[in-house]
Chains A and B, each alone.
Chain A
Amino acid sequence: MAVFEVEIRVMPRATLLDPQGQAVQHALAALGFGGVEGVRVGKALHLTVQAPDGATAEREARAMCERLLANPVTEDFAVTVGVAP
């Protein structure tokens, strides 16, 4: 078994209204960052996972996303697996 650092990024689906992202964009514009054309706010989860290999860690992380960590109706997710330092 090895230890892997798994990073999961969960983002609101691009086709859905993201009022948080819009509010952040307006705030950035008010601060003078007028070049920002779009903001979406999601969340990141960092997991430390024991698994025989990276492929298994990734498969498990995807199963976690499908069952709990992301809502398939409203969110998309991305999984990145790295070796723990």
Chain B
Amino acid sequence: MTRVAVVQFAGTNCEVDTLRAAERAGADAYYVWHRDTDLQGADAVILPGGFAYGDYLRAGAIARFSPIMSAVIAHAEAGGAVLGICNGFQVLCEAGLLPGALMRNAGLRFVARPVRVRIEQTGTPFTAAYEEGNIVTIPVAHGEGRYVAPASILQDLEDDHRVVMRYVDVNPNGSLHDIAGITNAAHNVVGMMPHPERAADPAIGATDGAAVFASIVACIGIPGGGSP
């Protein structure tokens, strides 16, 4: 069974929805505390949304030095799957696992609304269950989601098709190139601002995010099978 570790920092607040969404997809999901140093044999790690350490200094800046992050970085460097959602994306950028940074929304307002994004890269453990070009509706909820990176990095992201998803119709935060999610060069680390765990249960009338969690189970530790 695919083992999914959901990291809890002080100030994380989306871990329950994230854990349940992973379980609903068929994963064996469990929490790991930010002071832990062991991922307990995780196949995939998710850094969920919230406000780790109150977003003090900069969103993700202090969480990035939590004890568990050494294990997350080692897991990522060994090719293990890591997903950062919203605040988790900010942590991954601060940790240097993904390039660029997330800054205050261009409109200065906290934006909480469903947005439409186009899936542009399905060659990751978190988007494999989508089809390229799918346009899906997933909520965002953030005050600091404006993706920025030096022009050369943006060019690399575009040339290497590492923009995983892009806002369509409305760019809610002023992100450069309408970027909503990116992946690293090895495609095992993904960061995204939309919250797929908030659109993964038919009971709440939104399921477009469920494929993120289905992708994990489909790609890794197939029941009865081995890891790819």
Q: List residues of chain A with CB under 8 Å of any chain B CB.
A: 12, 16-17, 19-20, 23, 68-69, 71, 73-74
Residues in A with CB closer than 8 Å to B65 are 68
Pick from B62, B101, B174 the residue with the most CB of A within 10 Å.
B101
- Check B118 for interface membership: any CB of A closer than 8 A: no
B148, A73: Cβ atoms closer than 8 Å:
yes
B139: min CB distance to chain A, Å = 22
Report the interface size for chain B: residues with CB under 8 A from the other chain: 21
A interface, by DSSP: helix, strand, loop or mixed? mixed
Q: Is the pair A74, B101 in contact by a Cβ cutoff of 8 Å?
A: yes
Contact B61 A71 (CB under 8 A): yes
B57 touches A16 (CB 8 A): no
User: Can you list 27 residue pairs at the A/B interface with Cβ under 8 Å?
Assistant: A12-B103, A16-B148, A17-B103, A17-B106, A19-B104, A19-B105, A19-B107, A19-B108, A19-B174, A20-B104, A20-B108, A68-B61, A68-B62, A68-B65, A69-B57, A71-B61, A71-B94, A71-B101, A73-B93, A73-B99, A73-B100, A73-B101, A73-B148, A73-B149, A74-B101, A74-B103, A74-B148
Q: Is B24 an interface residue (CB 8 A)?
A: no
- Cα distance A12–B65 when bound, in Å? 22
The reply to whether the CB of B58 lies closer than 8 angstroms to some CB of chain A is: yes
| Minimum CB distance partner of A45 in chain B | B57
Proximity string of chain B (149-190) to chain A, C-beta cutoff 8 Å, 1 when within and 0 when not: 110000000000000000000000010000000000000000
